[in-house]
Structures are given as structure tokens and as C-alpha cells.
Structure 1
């Protein structure tokens, strides 16, 4: 857990005052409290977590439940308006900007949540909805609405989001 916190701190400007870092601290605390087996010891930690989570949600506008499968080195570039579904999966090194929604798109399938690969750059106001896969090193443009899978190294923009280019790493053939 402490190694994760150290990586979160580095990813968020090495500043304890950074809203993204504080959000990740509360998230890591929420996950840690679930490792306490004795429910009488866990109960006060649960109360404390709920209070901290409410504070983060109202002050910074970032809703990040402890049930999210979150990688390391996550950066919340700017605060406010960030909502992440409790069943979402987010890989290492992702950058999430203000106004991003990562959630489901249907009341009939409330647990269908996106799975985001490693090192994905998500632009401001982007919406990633439903049970979609976002590939590693992809970029989602500002205000894009993603409702279908995006491959690795792709750049997706628009409403609905369409892949406009695939930026292969250097040395890889097309």
C-alpha cells in the first residue's frame, strides 16, 4: 500500500496539496480498511472512510469509489466533475482530466463498466460509457463519447468517438 502511495505522490506533482493525490490517498485508505478482518475494528475505519470520501467528492469533485480496480501512477490532471463507476478498471499511468465520466450506459446493465488499459490519456469532458475496452497507450479526445472498443495506441475523437489515427510506437511496422 505504501509503495502505491509513493507512486501516486510522484504522479501528482509530488505535492500533498494536489487534489488528485488527496483523492488517491482516500481511495487507498478505503481499500486498506477492507483488509481488516475483524468487523468491529473495521467499522470505525469505514465511518472515517465515508467521511473522507464525502469531503473529497464535495471539495474536489472527484468520485472514486474504493471498489474501482485502479493501477499505479494515476494522475488526475485537473479536479471537478470526475465520476468513475465502482466496477471500472483503470490501468497504470493513466491521465484523467476534469469532467470525465467513466460509467455504464444502461439501467438494464448497471454493472457494465469500462476497462481502461495502461497509459491512456483521457481528455477533458470525455465520456466512456458501457462495457468497453480502451487499449493501452490510447488517447481519448476532449468531449469524446466512447461507446465502443478502442484499440491500443489509437486516438479517438468525436461523438460518438471514432478512431482517427493509430500512433504506433517507434520501430513498430504498420
Structure 2
């Protein structure tokens, strides 16, 4: 989604989205992700090899120290904010839209081992509450909100609220003037 921006412009944009604080683990994890995507564009492979070693070390540090597992194969939109560290696992085939917020202990993953590529797709402006779980090939529409500790197993329409275990969908009305 950010292929048109240079690496440092993407990282600067993410830095601004994370409150201009480079010490936040969420910003660091997103920056490592951006670096991982960028390094795959380096040709020839011989020049990419040292960058891949550096990426793998940085990825493991984010995973082991901060508890944020965000592989380079995730399609990550602009201004995605990882608010708090700890227990965040994102499947490599997940698509995360622009302006999303991911809070602590969220899991975006597969539902069955016979469908390894069936990962969630998050639209623009999706908010994931603390401890929420989104499993399988489902779509969260633009502006959807997933409540804390909700387990989402079905598609969530745009501007809807998903709460509970398993999640039930509640439509949020448009504000009246």
C-alpha cells in the first residue's frame, strides 16, 4: 500500500502517527516491518543478504523483547498504530488498511491448519480492542471496531461494532445533525 513512498518517508509518517516518539515499541515494530519490505526490493540477492540478516535480528528483537510479531509479508497500510506492546501476533498473509489501531494481545491469524493462507483483511480505520482475536479469511469493513477480548469469526461490515465471544455484530448509527 505504501510502495510509492521511499523507506524513510514511510518511517517518518509512522513516527508521526505514533506521537513522534521513536522509543515506542509499536513504532519500532512497524519500522522494522517497513525495512523488511524495503530490503526485498534490493537487487541482486547478494547485496540483499546482509540486509536480510539485519532484518531477521531486528524482527526477533521486536518479537522477543516487545512481544510484537509483525512479519514483512503483511500488507501494512499507512499510519497504522500499534498502541501497546505485548502479545501481538499477525499472520504473514494479513492485510491491514490505512489508519488502523492495534492494541495489546491482539491476534490476527488463521482458523484451520488446512487453510494456511486464509488470513484476515482489515479495512481503513479499523480499531482492535485489547485481547481481540480475528481468525480466518474474514473482512473487517472500514471503520469497524472490535471490542476488547472479542473473538471474531465472521465478516464485520463497515462502521459496525463486534463484541463478545463469539463476536456479535452491532451496527453503529450515523450521527444526526
Q: Extract unaligned runs of 5+ from structure 2.
A: 1-6
Give the deviation of 1:53 after TM superposition: 0.4
Partner-residue secondary structure (3-state), 1:107: coil
Query: What RMSD, in angstroms, separates the aligned Cα atoms of the two structures?
Result: 1.1
CA separation of 1:13/1:170 partners in 2, compared to 1, >3 Å: closer, same or farther? farther
Give the deviation of 1:168 after TM superposition: 2.9
CA separation of 1:53/1:105 partners in 2, compared to 1, >3 Å: closer, same or farther? same
The residue number in structure 1 matching 2:96 is 90
What per-residue deviation string (whole Å, max 9, x for no partner) do you get for residues 68-119 of structure 1? 0000111111100000000000000100000000000100101100000011
Q: Extract unaligned runs of 5+ from structure 1.
A: none
In 2, distance between residues paired with 1:120 and 1:33? 28
Answering whether residue 41 of structure 2 is matched by residue 32 of structure 1, we say no
In 1, distance between residues paired with 2:25 and 2:151? 25
Answer whether contact 1:155 1:167 (CA < 8 A) is retained.
no
Q: How many aligned positions are there?
A: 171
Give the deviation of 1:34 after TM superposition: 0.1
Give 4+ residue runs of structure 1 displaced > 4 Å after superposition.
none
Give the deviation of 1:167 after TM superposition: 3.6
Q: 1:67-106 maps to which residues of 2 (within 5 A)?
A: 67-106=73-112
Answer whether contact 1:95 1:119 (CA < 8 A) is retained.
yes
Partner-residue secondary structure (3-state), 2:31: helix
In 1, distance between residues paired with 2:61 and 2:39? 18
Q: 1:2-13 maps to which residues of 2 (within 5 A)?
A: 2-13=8-19
- TM-score, L = length of structure 1: 0.95
The residue number in structure 2 matching 1:136 is 142
The residue number in structure 2 matching 1:111 is 117
Answering whether residue 150 of structure 2 is matched by residue 159 of structure 1, we say no
What per-residue deviation string (whole Å, max 9, x for no partner) do you get for residues 24-61 of structure 1? 11101101100012011001110110000000101110
- TM-score, L = length of structure 2: 0.94
In 2, distance between residues paired with 1:134 and 1:104? 15
